[in-house]
Structure 1
Amino acid sequence: MLRFTAFLGAAATAGLLLPEGPTPGAATRPGAASGGAAGAAGPPMAAGQAVRASAYRLEPMTAQLPGRRRALPPVRRRPFHRLPESTGRTMVLTFDDGPDPRYTPAILRTLRRYDVRAMFFLCGEMATVHRDLVREIADDGHVIGNHSWSHPLIPGLAPSGIRAELGRTSEVIEEVTGLPPLWYRAPFGAWNRHSFEIGAELGMEPLAWTLDTLDWTEPGTGTIVSRVLDGAAPGVVVLSHDAGGDRSQSVAAIRNYLPELLEEGYRITVPRR
């Protein structure tokens, strides 16, 4: 029965993204990597800090409607890394580890200025504290994904631990936005068979990235901008962060590279699953 249900999900999601080779950007430093751990270095955040609601209200780009039953997606053996080439000069911007009231609102303002949608992979322990900000992300029409609860190394967890990390986060996102997340990303880009199986059971597809800005290393705003512009290509999925440390360079970088990408004819979009 599970395999038959997975087959039905495959028909619903075929052609949206193309899975490719091994996951890029696996962890290269303790406690952080391309998905720096939430709650890393940086000034303390005020719990429950209010975020002013945006006047920018658009329908979410996902097709899922409240109350509609979803066919479960198939169990993948590797994550998606990019959009299909057939989409033309299209790119996806993604931000991990948030939401963080120090940096996420500024990124949202930039996206709003250029009428662009992005994907935000949230950590549950951040989302549950900053619910107003989660709601603002959703109200602005961005896609919210699951990035686990506490940003652990998934392969080191028992299946019950993986289920708790992903399940709790999906519950918070659905509680705040009214919709469960349809995408998830493993912390550090570290996936395993159990994570694919449990993610599918929770109705989510795994999304990795094509281009890692390495912004968690704080290489300088100019370096981040150059990496994005030099790596721009049809179907590319860009990985950046809006939490997990000092992300002021990431905030400044998107102000620079986003208008240049648009001027070069790129369309910034999100998956419509």
Structure 2
Amino acid sequence: MNEYQNKMKKSKIKRKNELVVLFLSLIVFFCGFFIGSRVALKKQAVLSTFNRNTEIQNKNLKNDEIKNRFTTFQPAGVYMPWKQKRKDGEKVAYLTFDDGPSLNNTPRILEILNKNNIKATFFLIGKNAEINKDLVKEEVKEGHVVANHTYSHQLKYRQNPSLFVDDVNRCNLILRSVIGRDYDLKLVRFPGGSFNTRGLNMNPFKDAITKAGYHYVDWNDWIGDASGNNIPVDNLMNELKKYTNHDTVVILMHDAAAKTTTVQALPKVIEYLKSRGYTFETLN
């Protein structure tokens, strides 16, 4: 009987020890699970923060790129790159396109420029930019410079100069609304140019736009597409070759809807300029 009681007593002690071990094992397991979960959550939080910070940094880099491209360092007033002495000995061509964007010609011009890895400067009419916002965004996305060609493109210059400035400001607001608030390039091209010709006295308008903080640029070379529509490509090339005699050339072209032969001439324009040793840059 005593032997049986001793066996029972030992069996109870064994079961008790097993329960204690099991209980302690469960405690260790849950503690490990809890600590592991906390570590995993912490790692996830760190990774999430890293991803979020990376996303913000990438966005800031993109914004900085746009800001740098569209922040002008030119003083207000007339801007004539061909009169600035270059110290690098390079021959530089600035391809510029006025009066766009247009649905038929601007995409084709962008395609040609992209194929040749060339960046250009587009002087946009505000009312055209307003209805072709996607094309404005595409120009910016492709790395081109977008500048101001007034909102309404009035050529007569019979209004008060303050109204002209208002028209330029309106275009600037349109461009900023499409490109973003980092757009701050106060670069203007007067419709028809700022020349005191055609019986016009442009001085009051140039003074007004300068006081408003803008700098304006004309051109010292062109292809002659401002003279009419459907001008043969050979004629456009002949006009270009007449004036390509400077180390720096700002070339006037147009991407308005009617200027289809300009698009046809563009590959030849690029080929000719390259053969003359020109590299390509954008205005600022």
What is aligned with 1:257? 269
Matched, 1:211 2:211: no
More helix as a share of residues:
2
Q: CA deviation at 1:156?
A: 1.3
Report 1:54-69 matches (<5 A). Answer: 63=68
> Which one is further off, 206-215 or 196-205?
196-205
| Distance in 1 of aligned mates of 2:73 and 2:243 | 35
| Aligned residues of 1:153 and 1:190 also touching (Cα < 8 A) | no
Q: What amino acid is aligned across from residue 171 of structure 1 in structure 2?
A: L
Report 1:51-130 matches (<5 A). Answer: 63=68, 73-74=75-76, 76=77, 78=78, 80=80, 82=82, 84-86=84-86, 88-130=90-132
Sequence identity (%): 25
Report 1:7-22 matches (<5 A). Answer: none
> Which one is further off, 117-126 or 181-190?
181-190
What is aligned with 2:175? 173
Q: CA deviation at 1:80?
A: 2.5
Partner SS state of residue 68, structure 2: coil
Q: What amino acid is aligned across from residue 199 of structure 1 in structure 2?
A: I
Partner SS state of residue 270, structure 1: coil
Aligned-residue CA RMSD (Å): 2.8
Q: What amino acid is aligned across from residue 187 of structure 1 in structure 2?
A: P
| Distance in 2 of aligned mates of 1:94 and 1:166 | 18
Q: CA deviation at 1:181?
A: 2.9
Q: What amino acid is aligned across from residue 236 of structure 1 in structure 2?
A: V
Q: Which has the higher contact order (CA 8 A, sep 6+)?
A: 1
Partner SS state of residue 156, structure 1: coil
| Distance in 1 of aligned mates of 2:204 and 2:79 | 13
Describe the superposition over 1:155-189 as per-residue Cα deviations: whole angstroms up to 9, x where unpaired: 31213311221011000111111213331011111
TM-score by length of 2: 0.66
Larger radius of gyration: 2
| Distance in 1 of aligned mates of 2:142 and 2:165 | 29
| Aligned residues of 1:154 and 1:162 also touching (Cα < 8 A) | no
Matched, 1:199 2:244: no
What is aligned with 2:40? none
| Distance in 1 of aligned mates of 2:92 and 2:129 | 29
| Aligned residues of 1:150 and 1:165 also touching (Cα < 8 A) | yes
TM-score by length of 1: 0.68
Q: CA deviation at 1:229?
A: 3.7
Partner SS state of residue 97, structure 1: strand
Partner SS state of residue 82, structure 1: helix
Unaligned regions of 5+ residues in structure 2, if any? 1-61, 196-201
